[in-house]
Amino acid sequence: MSAERLGLVVCLGMVGIYASVCGVSWRIWLFGPSTLTLNQMGALVSSALDQGEWWRLIASLFLHADLLHLLVNGGAVWVLFRLDGALFGSVRTLWLFLLCGMCGALLSWAAGTPSTVGASGGLFGLMGAAISYGWKYRAQLPDQLGGLLRRRLAFWGGLNLGMGVLFPMIDNHSHFGGFISGLIFGLLVDDRLMTPEIRARFSTYIMVVVSGSLCGYALLRMGGAGP
């Protein structure tokens, strides 16, 4: 599956989960479900993680607080999955999204955030991974592409992190956690263009199994915890 289609699948998954939570009420669609409902469905609740509900690290990435939150993150998924997919391949892009999202959620939990939802940690991770790619292959990449990855993405990443500092309602811990882990994993993960094909295929198979298992388990737990 191409990264573009995979990004669309992730977007549709987010919309489907949001629809299942909101039902037919236009007010809930517009302003979002209650905090209690989100917590029941799989929000990152620090007290729940303390009790061993680690599936929330994945589930919380696909939940959103309101329609605007969903639209902003859905648009970012569409753009960043296409960009990172061209660099790392579709499966590794999904893996980066999930892993960086989990790292962001862990930092948010460690900071004592009571409850949070959203895919922003994974999206900041994809941004960080693309920046690292541009730096890692700065000698091989054309100047225009390298500049896009190293400077423009770094500018937008810094701008969004700065906005998170200014607005206290934004969970900036998950943003920072996702971004820093993306910078690190972007240097370590096999990429699409420079990695030998045999090793790339082997790592892809492993990522398919692990990411599929994580998402499947999180969805099962979300279904069992529904309102």
Number of folded domains that form the chain: 1
Which position among 90, 108, 115, 120 bears the catalytic label? 120
Using DSSP, state whether 116 is helix, strand or coil: strand
Phi, psi of 116 (to 5 degrees): -155, 155
Q: 94-117: buried (b, 16+ CB within 10 Å) or exposed (e) per residue?
A: bbbbbbbbbbbbbbbbeeebebbb
pLDDT tens-digit map of 23-82:
878 888 899 899 999 998 889 999 998 898 888 999 999 999 999 999 999 999 999 999
Residue 120 is a catalytic residue:
yes
Band the pLDDT of 88: cuts 50, 70, 90. Answer: confident
Which position among 132, 175, 181, 211 bears the catalytic label? 175
Read off the CATH number of the domain in which 175 is found.
Answer: 1.20.1540.10
Q: Do 210 and 192 touch, CB atoms closer than 8 A? A: no
pLDDT tens-digit map of 167-209:
777 888 999 999 999 999 888 876 655 555 544 555 555 555 6
Amino acid identity at 19: A
Residue 211 is a catalytic residue:
no
Handedness of CA 28, 34, 37, 39 (dihedral sign): positive
Q: Do 119 and 173 touch, CB atoms closer than 8 A? A: no
Domain range for 62 is: 3-224
Return the higher-pLDDT residue of 198 and 101: 101
Q: What is the mean pLDDT of the chain?
A: 83
| Distance from C-alpha of 118 to C-alpha of 60, rounded to nearest angstrom | 6
